[in-house]
Amino acid sequence: MRRIGLMGGSFNPIHLAHVRLAREALASGRVDEVIFLPTGNPPHKGLELADKLARYDMVCLAIAGQQNLSVSRAEIDREGVIYTVDTLRALRQSMPDLQFFYLIGTDTLLQLGTWRQIDTVITLCGFLVYMRPGEDEPLAKSCAAQWQARGASIEWMQAKPWDVSSTEIRRRLREGLPVEGLLAPNVEQYIREHALYGARAEESSAGTDGMKREKMLYRLKKDLDAQRYQHTLGVEETARQMALVFGEDAQKAALAGLLHDCAKCLTLSQMVKAAKEVPLDPVMKESKALMHAVAGMCVAKNVYGVDDAQVLSAIRWHTTGHAGMTNLEKIIYLADMIEPNRKPYPGLEQIRALCWKNLDEAMHTALRMSLEHVVQQGKTLHPDTLAALLDYEHADNIQQ
């Protein structure tokens, strides 16, 4: 039976740690899918609570295009006071063949007794409890044991510390402080366009390195065909999410994702010309498929004004890889392969699943697939790709 994680909350606004938690739940293997359940408007809505439709829109934007994440209107379409027990009944009725797990923190676990009709709730769903580092595990486990004795199904997962809060984000927006790295850029844009939480329209902070993101998008749209442009946005978002999961800089990952193919639609001679400052090997010079990465690094630097060396090198190595790759480089290499607009290819789902669990296993599998692919085509692997693969093969041999 398919297992569905439910993530309730006011999402006022939804931020990157919410989405990361949902991803961690998927990566734990305990659930196959996560549904966000934004709350409706309470009878007396505080000034700081954005309207339910705006909060719903923001959740849609934050998870757009991401596999196995979705949002339900179950609570926002109802009026008055809504209790979890009613929502669960409605969900069970509309999706009878699924098994639901409410995602809760240990704080909520300790207060489970205050939930309305809790004895009914535990017959309608199980609980997936996320433990953060430093939390009182024995206390949580003994509390869980009491609920299990009453028939509740309780499972556990590990989660990273909660380093972002909606309250803090609202304060920063109100005071005109930057919120980069806390919200998805499209959510920030929505907040500013709708002047939520006292935010002003003009202070978009996305894309602070070099050009502003809007300008980059304008230029990319001009330089790329429609399909490549969509792919670029998919890699931007996937890279951002992967960076969050693996504790890397999400803004750098998003920027490298956005620009990784910025030179893709140039001709080969234009690519070689754009990359004149970089020593090029003969194999590289003959292949658009490889060359656009080196050219992309130069265009990102010289046209888009990016000067961050980590971002530039992630763009540089996204086609070949190399021995001793950094995590950011691995993220861009992999996000490029798995972003949601990718047409299905053999092994895609396997790589996709590994990408949210273990970067090195995902890289190793991806590099082996490249090898198989070029062998099938009667070609040879680029020396840098071979070196990257041998890195992993050697590590395997040492372990064995």
Which residues sit at the interface with Fe ion, rule CB under 5 A? 261, 336
In contact, 129 and 157? CB cutoff 8 Å? yes
Closest distance of CB 351 from Fe ion, Å: 14
Q: What pairs with residue 70 in β-bridges? A: 35
In contact, 348 and 340? CB cutoff 8 Å? no
Closest distance of CB 325 from Fe ion, Å: 16
Closest distance of CB 231 from Fe ion, Å: 6
Nearer to Fe ion, 236 or 336 (CB): 336
* Long-range contacts at 50-57 (CB < 8 A, ≥ 24 apart): 50/12, 50/13, 50/196, 50/197, 52/76, 54/190, 54/194, 54/196, 55/10, 55/11, 55/12, 55/13, 55/14, 57/190
Nearer to Fe ion, 200 or 221 (CB): 221
Helix (H, G, I), strand (E, B) or coil at 155: strand
Q: What pairs with residue 36 in β-bridges? A: 7, 71
Nearer to Fe ion, 44 or 343 (CB): 343
Nearer to Fe ion, 261 or 308 (CB): 261
Output the six-digit token pair for 199. 């935010």
Q: What pairs with residue 103 in β-bridges? A: 128
Closest distance of CB 66 from Fe ion, Å: 18
Closest distance of CB 340 from Fe ion, Å: 13
Nearer to Fe ion, 188 or 261 (CB): 261
CA distances from 207 to 250, 259, 308, 317 (A): 12, 11, 12, 21
Nearer to Fe ion, 128 or 295 (CB): 295
In contact, 25 and 31? CB cutoff 8 Å? yes
Closest distance of CB 312 from Fe ion, Å: 15
Closest distance of CB 378 from Fe ion, Å: 22
Closest distance of CB 234 from Fe ion, Å: 9
CA distances from 150 to 145, 154, 333 (A): 9, 11, 48
How many CB atoms sit inside 10 A of residue 345's CB?
11
Nearer to Fe ion, 238 or 327 (CB): 238
Q: What pairs with residue 131 in β-bridges? A: 158
Alpha carbons 308 and 316: distance in angstroms, whole number? 12
Encode 65-93: b = buried (16+ Cβ within 10 Å), e = exposed.
ebbbbebbebbbeeeeebebbebbebbee
Nearer to Fe ion, 308 or 336 (CB): 336
